Structure 1
C-alpha cells in the first residue's frame, strides 16, 4: 500500500499543473455503484472493498470517506496510512479540502469517473478558497496499477421482445418525441441500465448486473451504440442495425460528443432511422433547426463528456429513461412475478440446507422452517 501511495504522489508532483490532492472515486465511466474488477480503482489504492466510498490522497495524508454501512469494514481493511472519514459525522470531502488544503490548491480527478453534479458541487466549494478542480489527462491510478485486470469482453446479447415487452423502435419513437418537446436535438445516455433498456440488450461486464459497458447517443435522426465491437457478434450486430442503430467503438463516444456539440454527428454518419417514421403522432412538429439543445443527465453523465458541450446549449435534466424504465409494461410485470417465485424457491432451498446443517452440527432443527420443530421452539 505504501508503494502505491508513493507512486501516486510522484505522478501528482509531475502532473501539469502539480496536484496538491488526488480524488479517487468508486465509480466507473458510467457512474455505476457496482463496477467491474478493472474499474475498482478506489479499492486498489485503499484496500477497502465496500461498494461505496471515495479516496483522497494528498502530499502527506490519505483519507477514505464511506457511509454507515461500511464503518466497521473500513476500520478492519484500512492500513495505518489511511484515515477513515465517516459520512454524516465528519466533514464532506469538498468541505475538508476547502478548509485544509492551501489557497489555489489544485485537486485532480479523472473526469470520466465523476458525474457532472458532483464535479460542479466540488468546484463551487473549492472556489471559496480559490482552489481548482483539475481534470487529469489520464487516470493516475491506472498508471501505477501494474496488474490491472483487462477490460471485459463478454458478449452482448439481445433481450428478446417476449421478455422486453416493447420493441426498440417503440422506445426510440417515444424518446424522439420527448426530445422534440424539450427542443433538444440529441441526448447522451451513459447509465448502463438505461442503455441496456433502450436498445434491448444485455451483458455480463459487471458481476450480478446484466449490463454491458456502453454509451448511447440518440438524435432526432440517428441512434448510436458505443461498445467494444469484440463483444458484438455478426448476428447481434445485424439485430441492432435493423433498428437503425449504428454500432461504433466504445472509445469513439468522446469525439462523437464533440461532433454532436457542433451539430455534425448526423452529417458525419449519413445514417438515418427516418425521423418521419418515428413522429407519427405529430408531437415532433418543430423543425430540426429549432431544436438546438443537448440533453444531459447531470447525475449520470461523466464530467469528461459534459466538458465537450456548449454550456449554453445543454438541457441539464434527469434522463427520460429513468421514469420510462420504471413504468413496467405487462410483460415486464409478469417477468418480475416469475423472478420472485424463483428467488423465493432459492431462499427456501437455502433455509432447508441451513436447517439440516444446524441439526447435523448441533442436534437442533426447526429454527428456519415452518413445522413441528418451529412450533416447539416458539412455544
Structure 2
C-alpha cells in the first residue's frame, strides 16, 4: 500500500492499513519476548538506554540493545516499554531517522529529558508499580535523575541483575569480541605502563583523602594505563575491561586469553611486587570490588564513566567521587613525545585535506559528486598519505572518486594508522 502523505520513506501509522517503509523493523515478536521477561521479574515498565556498561560514546553490536529492540539505529535514545505501550525518546538529529526505522508498535517522543520520561512513566505505571532497569547501563547521575523523577510517587526503581533485553534477544545476540588485545609500541607512548602506574599512585598519595584504590570503568582509561589496545568497538582501539589499582596491587579484569604474548609478558614484568598485574575475568569485577570494599579502604572513582551498578557496591563512607578519575586527568596531559606525534599526525592529515580541497574544486562543478563519494575519496587520500608505497588499486582510488575496494580494507594497518576515528561525515559549501 502507498502512504497517503507525499513521502513514502517514513511511516504513517494513521493510514489504513498503516504504512511502513522498507527501512522499518518489525518489532512485534521482540516486544512480546521482552514483555514476557518483564512479567517474570515483576517489572511494570522497563527502561532501555543506548549506552554500554562503560558509558562509551560508541558501542559494539553486542551492546546495541536499543537498536535491536526498536529497530532505531541512531546513537542516542531511550526506550520505555510497558505491557501495552512502547515509546522511544530521541533528539532532533534523529527524528526523521526514527520515523523511517520504527514500526507502528512505537510512539516517538521528540525530547530526551529524563523529566519527560519520568512524567510519562507516572502516567503509564500505576501506584505501587516497579520500573525495571539494568543498573550497569546507567551512570550515577542518570540513575539519580530517574530516582528524583519518581520520588514520592509510589513507583519504585527496580535494579535487576539480569538484563531483560539480553534475555529476550537470546542466542541471536552477537557474541563478544575475540580479537587480540595487543601492546602499543613504546615509540608511540612516551611512557611505560609502570611509569604511569607510579604517577597515579603518587596522585593517590598526594590527595587529601589518601584513597587506597582507584576504580577505572572507562575503556580508554585501562587502555591508556597499560599501553594496550583492542578492536572491540568500531573506530575505537579499546577492549572491554575494568581496573582496580590499589596502593599495593593491580587487578585487571579482562578476558585474559585474548592478550597477545607480548601484552601478557609486559603485564607480568613487575611480578612479584606492587607492579604485578593480576588478571581476573571481566565478569568478576563486582564480586572483587565487594570484597575489597569490606576493608578499611577509600575508593576513588570518576562519576562520568562509573555505572550505578558498581557505585552501589561501595559504601558511601568509603567513596571518593570526582567527575573524572586521576587516570582520565593524567591521560589528558600529553607528554613531550606524544605532542611530537600529534604534530606529525596533523601535518600528514593536512596534506590529505589539501589534496581533497583541490579535488573538490575540480570535481564539484561537474555536478556528479555527492557526500558519500566525497567521504570515500578522502578516505582513499588519507590512506595514500599514510602509506606512500600504495598498491595500484589504492593509487587508482586516489585519482578516481570510487571507493577503495573492500577487499583491501583488512590489510590497511599502515605504519601511522590503524583506521579512522569515526565514519566520515562529508560535506562542502
Q: If the length of structure 1 is used for normalisation, what is the TM-score?
A: 0.82
Residues of 1 paired with 2:140 and 2:113: CA distance?
25
Alignment of 1:285-300 (within 5 A): 292-300=297-305
Answer with 5-14 or 64-73: which moved more: 64-73
How much has 1:335 moved relative to structure 2? 2.1
- Cα RMSD of the aligned pairs, angstroms, is 2.5
Residues of 2 paired with 1:37 and 1:157: CA distance?
21
- Contact kept, 8 Å, 2:50 with 2:75, in 1: the verdict is yes
- Contact kept, 8 Å, 1:241 with 1:247, in 2: the verdict is no
Residues of 2 paired with 1:331 and 1:52: CA distance?
36
How much has 1:239 moved relative to structure 2? 0.4
Alignment of 1:302-341 (within 5 A): 302-318=307-323, 319-341=325-347
How much has 1:348 moved relative to structure 2? 4.7
Residues of 1 paired with 2:367 and 2:65: CA distance?
41
How much has 1:226 moved relative to structure 2? 0.9
- Contact kept, 8 Å, 2:228 with 2:263, in 1: the verdict is no
Question: Per the alignment, in what secondary structure is the counterpart of residue 303 of structure 2?
Answer: coil
Residues of 2 paired with 1:132 and 1:329: CA distance?
48
Relative to structure 1, the CA distance from residue 154 to residue 104 in structure 2 (aligned partners, 3 Å threshold; closer, same or farther) is same
Where does structure 2 lack aligned partners over 5 or more consecutive residues?
Answer: 1-26, 378-429
Aligned twin of 2:81: 57
- Contact kept, 8 Å, 1:98 with 1:128, in 2: the verdict is no
Aligned twin of 1:199: 226
Q: If the length of structure 2 is used for normalisation, what is the TM-score?
A: 0.73
How much has 1:127 moved relative to structure 2? 1.9
- Contact kept, 8 Å, 1:190 with 1:216, in 2: the verdict is yes
How much has 1:76 moved relative to structure 2? 1.8
- Tell me, yes or no, if structure 1 residue 104 matches structure 2 residue 109: no
How much has 1:71 moved relative to structure 2? 2.0
Question: Per the alignment, in what secondary structure is the counterpart of residue 92 of structure 1?
Answer: helix
Alignment of 1:1-379 (within 5 A): 1-15=27-41, 18-87=42-111, 91-145=115-169, 146-180=171-205, 181=207, 182-243=209-270, 244=275, 245-263=277-295, 292-318=297-323, 319-348=325-354
- Contact kept, 8 Å, 1:26 with 1:33, in 2: the verdict is no
Number of aligned residues: 337
Answer with 310-319 or 148-157: which moved more: 310-319
Higher relative contact order (CA 8 A, sep 6+): 1
Residues of 1 paired with 2:368 and 2:282: CA distance?
55
Question: Per the alignment, in what secondary structure is the counterpart of residue 6 of structure 1?
Answer: helix
- Contact kept, 8 Å, 1:33 with 1:52, in 2: the verdict is no
Residues of 1 paired with 2:362 and 2:300: CA distance?
56
- Contact kept, 8 Å, 1:53 with 1:65, in 2: the verdict is yes
Residues of 2 paired with 1:183 and 1:310: CA distance?
17
